[in-house]
Amino acid sequence: EVQLVESGGGLVQPGGSLRLSCVASGFSFTNYWMTWARQAPGKGLECVADIKDDGSRTYYVDSVKGRFTISRDNAKNSLYLQMNSLRVEDTAIYYCGRDGRIDWWGQGTLVTVSS
């Protein structure tokens, strides 16, 4: 069974940093693009960053470019999101998704940016 388990969320002050992790199992991780998406409280969904199966290409939504970095370790079946210079508007549940078009979602990890 496909499983995606996120961790690393929490409360951080504006301007701070967090690193999210996602461990994948139940499928061949190295064969898939992976995605980070987010959902602000009570709001809709937004794709934040994408990474190619071998890590050679990455894409970001404009609002996080220069602040967030997506990466992966295929030997560990793991996906990461390094988030720097966090803003109040980055507060959201962050989901790890399989494939750029997200055919499977993790349970999410909550990031709260507040002073």
Partner 1 sequence: EVLMTQSPLSLPVILGQPASISCRSTQDLVFTDGGTYLSWFHQRPGQSPRRLIYEVSKRDSGVPDRFSGSGSGADFTLQISRVEVEDVGVYYCMQGTHWPYTFGPGTTVDIK
SS3 91: coil
The answer for residues whose C-beta is within 8 angstroms of residue 15's C-beta and 6 or more apart is 85, 86
Figure out which of the listed residues 9, 20, 34, 50 binds partner 1, where binding follows CB under 8 A.
50
- Report the DSSP beta bridge partners of residue 97: 35, 105
Interacting residues with partner 1 between 76 and 115 (CB under 8 A): 95, 100-108
Any idea which residue has 């994408």 for tokens?
Answer: 50
8 belongs to the binding site for partner 1 (CB under 8 A): no
- The stretch among 7-15, 46-54, 75-83, 84-92 that binds partner 1 (CB under 8 A) is 46-54
Give the integer Cα–Cα distance in Å for 43 and 54.
32
46 belongs to the binding site for partner 1 (CB under 8 A): yes
Please name which of 2, 11, 14, 1 lies closest in space to residue 109, comparing C-alpha atoms.
11
The smaller minimum CB distance to partner 1, of residues 76 and 101, is found at 101
Least CB distance to partner 1 at residue 53 (A):
16
Least CB distance to partner 1 at residue 47 (A):
4
